[in-house]
Chain A
Amino acid sequence: MAAAESSPLTTHVLNSGDGVPAARMALSLHRLDAQLMIWSMLSVGTTDKDGRCSGLIARGAFGPGMYKLRFETGSYWESRGQNSFYPYVEVVFSITEPEQRFHLPLLMSRFSYSTYRGS
């Protein structure tokens, strides 16, 4: 169920090897507890046919801190009958201005990936 206001953090996974959105890829969002120095999972989801995953986090829950997006890329390639170099991809990033929007895409193939901070 979509949140009343869309997530300030979005992603988009693209299969650059095949030139298609990476659909049905599992992913999860985590935040680092700065006191305990442990990660806690905030949400888990699966990309839609467009490679997107809505509702990652609510605007009210999105404070400053260190976050991690984990993409189950290895499982994705396995489901397509192929192996890949990376069992998973984790992108760890630091949010200091949570009032902004953050778009963190993942462009990936079996043997490469890239990411950037968009909006």
Chain B
Amino acid sequence: MSAHRLQQLKGHILPGNKITAMAAPSPLTTHVLNTAMGVPGANMGLSLYRQDPSTSAWSLITTGITNADGRCPGLITTEMFTSGVYRLHFETAQYWESMGETCFYPYVEIVFTTNDPGKKYHVPLLLSRFSYSTYRGS
């Protein structure tokens, strides 16, 4: 089975995502990695917002929870993923608290601009209790 097909199937059966049973994988993906422990950041709450260009108000697109691999399939559909400013919000302190630890960052928000929605956007979060990084992948 191809990795692509496996990812599609995982998106159908994993709980916690508002958008399920999609025909095609989300053009926007994330991946949370716990760099302190060397494991995927599993069971972390996150949400995706888009900013209205005229009012600057944010609207919620989806909420989800990362799976055992630290991923969250089904963030957005290709049709909804128009050019604009988006915000990914990660519940980092909640995540560390669930493991009995504190975190310097109550949450992490990554605000990014897409101007070529035909492309794939991969926005990972590499996280420890006292550091984080992100990059634009594909």
Q: Which of A5-13, A36-44, A47-55, A80-88 contacts B (4 or more CB under 8 A)?
A: A80-88
Interchain CB contact under 8 A, B130 and A117: yes
Interchain CB contact under 8 A, A114 and B131: yes
Q: A87-B113, A116-B130 are in contact. Are A111 and B105 (CB under 8 A)?
A: no
Interface residues in B66-112 by Cβ distance below 8 A to A read: 85, 93, 102-112
Interchain CB contact under 8 A, B132 and A87: no
8 closest pairs, A vs B, by CB? A114-B133, A116-B131, A112-B135, A111-B136, A117-B130, A85-B136, A117-B104, A85-B112
Interface residues in A83-118 by Cβ distance below 8 A to B read: 85-94, 96, 111-117
Q: A85-B112, A88-B111 are in contact. Are A112 and B134 (CB under 8 A)?
A: yes
Interchain CB contact under 8 A, A111 and B131: no
Q: How far is the CA of A92 from the CA of B90 in the complex (A)?
A: 12
Q: How far is the CA of A87 from the CA of B85 in the complex (A)?
A: 8
Known: A96-B102, A112-B135. 19 other contacts (CB 8 A): A85-B113, A86-B110, A86-B112, A86-B113, A87-B85, A92-B105, A92-B109, A94-B103, A94-B104, A94-B105, A111-B135, A111-B136, A112-B133, A113-B133, A113-B134, A114-B126, A114-B134, A116-B130, A117-B130
Q: How far is the CA of A92 from the CA of B113 in the complex (A)?
A: 20
Q: Is A66 an interface residue (CB 8 A)?
A: yes
Within 8 Å by CB of A92, from B85, B107, B131, B136, lies B107
Min Cβ gap B53→A in Å is: 12
In the assembled complex, which residues on chain B have CB atoms less than 8 Å from the CB atom of A112?
133-136
> Residues 110-123 of chain B: 1 if any A CB is under 8 Å from the residue's CB, otherwise 0?
11110000000000
In the assembled complex, which residues on chain B have CB atoms less than 8 Å from the CB atom of A114?
126, 131-134
Q: A66-B106, A92-B108, A94-B106 are in contact. Are A115 and B113 (CB under 8 A)?
A: no
Q: How far is the CA of A92 from the CA of B109 in the complex (A)?
A: 8
